[in-house]
């Protein structure tokens, strides 16, 4: 099991290595990269650029609380969650499992070093260039109303 990584758009990155040896199909995952982690590492100011890099123009994200289409809507949805939980961070919860054009992973949202308040499980469908075309999300743990 490995984490997904976005494709190398400007040629190979010499710092980007793969523990499974050699190169990989850009739709296959590479170690150390996760969608929630990439969005969080980008920070709130760089989130839109991360969304543009990770998702296709017409990508969709569907979970029990929302169904959005397009990068702008995905960025707004992630922003709304970050605004609702300003002191929390997205983080991966385990490894990403991927094959062909599919990746599945569990993520958490919670205070740094603390117990996760929200836990979700997502299945991503990747496009031919390795970007995310669809995310089907499930919420395993949500705060009580």
145, 117 contact by CB (below 8 A): no
pLDDT of residue 32: 45
pTM for the complete prediction? 0.74
Residues in the chain, overall count: 145
Burial class of 7 by CB neighbour count within 10 A (0 to 12, 13 to 18, 19+): middle
Angle at 86 (CA atoms; ends 80, 87), nearest 5 degrees: 150
Residues in contact with 50: Cβ distance below 8 Å, sequence separation at least 6, in sequence order? 38, 39, 41, 42
Domains of the chain: 35-141 (3.10.450.50)
Please give the pLDDT value at position 23.
Answer: 42
pLDDT in tens, 17-55: 333 333 444 444 444 456 666 776 666 678 888 899 999
Residue 46: what pLDDT?
83
Residues in the chain, pLDDT under 70: 1-37, 40-44
């Amino acid at each position: 099991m490995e984490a997904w990584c976005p494709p190398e758009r400007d040629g190979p990155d010499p710092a980007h290595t793969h523990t499974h040896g050699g190169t990989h199909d850009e739709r296959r995952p590479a170690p150390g990269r996760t969608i929630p982690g990439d969005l969080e590492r980008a920070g709130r100011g760089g989130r839109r650029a991360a969304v543009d890099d990770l998702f296709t123009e017409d990508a969709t994200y569907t979970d029990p609380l929302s169904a959005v289409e397009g990068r702008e809507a995905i960025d707004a949805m992630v922003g709304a969650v970050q605004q609702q939980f300003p002191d929390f961070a997205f983080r991966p919860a385990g490894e990403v499992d991927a094959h062909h054009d599919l990746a599945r992973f569990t993520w958490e949202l919670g205070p740094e070093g603390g117990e996760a308040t929200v836990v979700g499980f997502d299945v991503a469908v990747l496009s031919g260039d390795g970007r995310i075309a669809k995310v089907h999300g499930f919420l395993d743990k949500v705060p009580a109303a």
